[in-house]
Chain A
Amino acid sequence: MFDWKLALEAIGMIIYATFMGFIFMGIERKAMARIQRRVGPPIYQPLIDTLKLLGKKESISHGFIYDFGPVFALGASIAALLFIPIANFQLFSSNADLIVVAYLLEVPMLGIMLGAMSSGNPYSAVGVQRGLLTMVAMQLPYGLALIALIQHWGTFKLSNIVALQQIHGWSITVPALFLAFIVFDIVFQAMLGLEPFDVIAAPAEISMGPMVEYGGKHAALLFTQHAVQLFAETAFFAVLFLGGASNLLELLVKQIAVLFIAIFVASIYPRFTIDQAAKFFWKWPTILGIIAVILTMGW
């Protein structure tokens, strides 16, 4: 029996997430511009950009995998989105959806890398190498932060975590989980590809990294993917540490709060080189993460 209500809800959620994701990207650009004392683009600028990229009259393809990469990435971010409890809606859930979402948020990077590798451009190859190293490096603190969280709340279900936070107070009010929050926030910067850890795209350093060969419709697809990803990641953050939300407005406020921390950090720090980034991830966030895990074991 086909579930019409579920399908409609899923479509509505995807549209809402894409739209809000584009607005978040606009907020990001606008806020960075204001920090540099510029006027900056209008807030809906990423929508115009995507429209323009869709309106290109020519498109270049390097073969099937090259086309498949961005589609794969977009699919993975949409799948991640559907598992996260957005306000009262959680469309799909399983026993361990925290792990599912945590890994589905990593998959888009692999999709982009897959497409980029098949373009045969040396800049993409360098970008892919850096991207994979960043991913490997950030898994350790990321995993530790999640372990601390799971150990404290004693459940793998996102909806249970939200419910527990509603009773016992937000995650960040617990001292041990506050450490995990700091670790997660550092990793978050790398997940969004923002400044101290934007070694993957690294504009001006290695052209555009993996995205160097993408133009036209492929780039529009990547833009959409980035929007969905941004929405999903900020929502995931809000659900894990800021106590979820009972309505969309509350969620939006929390997401924007999370986003602004990322923007402020990004706009004052220069970029790490890749070896520094790997070293950094395996030092301070890892130490903090281990302390957080040990503290949660004690309680």
Chain B
Amino acid sequence: MGEDFISYELKEFKLFEPLFRWARKKSLWIVAFCTGCGGIEMPPLFNARYDLERFGMMPNPAPRMADLFLITGYVTPKTLKRIIITYEMMPDPKYILAHGSCPINGGVYWDSYNVVKQLDKYIPIDVAIAGCMPRPEAVMDGIQEIMRKIESGEADGWKRYRENYEWYRKNQDELFGEGWREKDAKRWLAWL
């Protein structure tokens, strides 16, 4: 993490925890990061037919305000770098919902040199939905599942990421090579 900002971890108020859990479940904001084919299937979730705003969900262009990250399809290493950075920018109780078979095991791109086969090795996934592309009903079912998990406190991807950071970091570095953040940031300097 950079030097120019302070990040504090806040104490957990045990007494209000049920209230906060209910609030988290009822207002999941999605960071609008569309990868792969699922980018097409995300807008229909928010229009008149399958209105996800009923559950208090809102697509949000800023990662700092988001709670839920929808991985909507295949992930290439180039996208994965951005996904990891976005995920790390989100403040703490944060959840990942992967849909489609590509994030689970590579899907139809099992033979590709350029698709990440198992996303769970790089960032923690809370709920995954199968299907190539899942219907909006299936996505809504996954969202119901994640709401149930938040209520019961099982959706702990952010905790796993914090506790097993070494492991995730090791996998990421294996894929991209050490120091990829700096290298990627400096990549365009030569072309300016």
Cα distance, A212 to B67, chains bound together (Å): 14
Asked if residues A208 and B91 are in contact (CB atoms below 8 Å), the reply is: no
Contact B27 A57 (CB under 8 A): no
B56 touches A49 (CB 8 A): yes
Complex CA distance for A211 and B29, rounded to whole angstroms = 15
* CB <8 Å contact, A51 and B64: no
- For B57, the closest partner residue in chain A by CB is A41
Q: Cβ of A62: which chain B residues have Cβ within 8 Å of it?
A: 4-6
Q: In the complex, A38 Cα to B47 Cα: how many Å?
A: 7
Chain B hits for A49, CB < 8 A: 23, 27, 29, 56
Q: Is the CB of A41 within 8 A of B54?
A: yes
Knowing A33-B53, A39-B54, A215-B64 are in contact, say whether A59-B48 is a contact too (CB < 8 A).
no
Tell yes or no: B24 within 8 A of A by CB: yes
Question: Is B132 interfacial (CB 8 A cutoff)?
Answer: no
Number of interface residues of B (CB under 8 A): 34
CB–CB B8/A48 < 8 A:
no
* Pick from A40, A57, A63, A219: contact of B92, CB under 8 Å: A57
Assess the A207–B23 pair: CB atoms within 8 A.
no
Interface residues of B in 24-76 (CB under 8 A from A): 24, 26-27, 29, 32, 47-48, 51, 53-56, 60-62, 64-65, 67
Choose from A38, A56, A211 the contact partner of B93 (Cβ within 8 Å): A56
A214-B61 contact given A38-B51, A59-B10, CB 8 Å threshold: no
- A212-B62 in contact given A57-B12, A58-B92 (Cβ < 8 Å): yes
Q: In angstroms, how far is the closest chain B Cβ from the Cβ of A16? A: 22
Q: Smallest distance from the beta carbon of A203 to chain B beta carbons, Å? A: 6
By a CB distance below 8 angstroms, the chain B residues around A56 are 10, 91-93
A-B contacts, 6 of them at CB < 8 A, read A33-B53, A38-B54, A58-B92, A60-B91, A203-B61, A215-B64
Interface contacts beyond A55-B93, A56-B10: sample of 5 additional A-B pairs, CB < 8 Å, sorted by A: A40-B53, A40-B54, A59-B7, A63-B6, A203-B60
- Give B contacts to A, CB under 8 Å: 4-10, 12, 16, 19-20, 23-24, 26-27, 29, 32, 47-48, 51, 53-56, 60-62, 64-65, 67, 90-93
